[in-house]
A = this chain, B = another copy of it.
Amino acid sequence: MTANKRAAKASEETLHRIFTIPVAPNSTLGRIENEISQNLAGFLGAHIAASDQALTEIEKDFADSQIPEDPAFVSDHMHHLLDKLVAQSVHTSSPNFIGHMTSALPYFILPLSKLMIGLNQNLVKIETSKAFTPMERQVLGMMHRLVYQNDDAFYQQWMHSAAHSLGAFCSGGTIANLTALWVARNNLLKPEGDFRGVAREGLFKALKHYQYQGLAILVSSRGHYSLKKSADVLGLGQDSVIAIPTDENNKIDCQLLAAKCQQLANENIQVLSIVGVAGTTETGNIDPLQEMAAIAKRYNAHFHVDAAWGGATLLSKKYRPMLKGIELADSVTIDAHKQMYVPMGAGLVVFKNPASVAAIEHHAEYILRKGSKDLGSHTLEGSRPGMAMLVYAALHVISRPGYEMLINSSIEKAHYFASLIKQHADFELVTEPELCLLTYRYNPERVQQRLASVEQSQQEEINVLLDKLTKFIQKRQRENGKSFVSRTRIEVTRYQGRKTLVFRVVLANPLTTQKILQDVLAEQVQLAQESETFLPQLLALS
Contacts and interface: CB of A to CB of B under 8 A. Distances in A.
Interface stretch (A53-61, A256-264, A426-434, A524-532): A53-61
Contacts of A182: 232-233
A129 interface: yes
A441 B382 CA distance: 27
Given A145-B67, A400-B67, A368 B37 contact: no
Interface stretch (A38-46, A288-296, A324-332, A460-468): A38-46
A147 B324 CA distance: 52
Contacts of A68: 395-396, 399-400
B110 A344 contact: no
A64 interface: yes
B104 A365 contact: no
Interface stretch (A116-124, A242-250, A442-450, A533-541): A116-124
B108 A122 contact: no
Interface size class, chain A: 35 or more
A115 B86 contact: yes
Given A88-B130, A204-B204, A383-B337, A62 B15 contact: no
Contact of A118 (B87, B110, B185, B231): B110
Interface string A215-231: 10000000011101101
A333 to B, nearest CB: 11
Nearest to A372: B55
Interface string A65-86: 1111111111001001100111
Given A39-B22, A138-B65, A146-B67, A365 B488 contact: yes
A93 interface: yes
Contact of A32 (B80, B111, B185): B111
A198 interface: yes
Given A107-B22, A383-B173, A100 B127 contact: yes
A272 B350 CA distance: 33
A131 B401 contact: no
A232 B137 CA distance: 25
Nearest to A199: B232
B397 A155 contact: no
B385 A343 contact: yes
A58 B131 contact: yes
Contacts of A114: 33, 36-37, 110-111, 113-114
A85 B381 contact: no
Interface string A295-324: 000000000000000000001000000000
B384 A344 contact: yes
Interface stretch (A356-364, A411-419, A451-459, A514-522): A356-364
Contacts of A380: 174-175, 178, 229, 233
A507 to B, nearest CB: 14
A354 interface: no
A125 B309 CA distance: 17
A234 B235 contact: yes
A50 interface: no
Q: Which 6 residue pairs are nearest across A and B when measured between Cβ atoms?
A: A235-B235, A202-B237, A88-B131, A65-B155, A344-B385, A366-B488
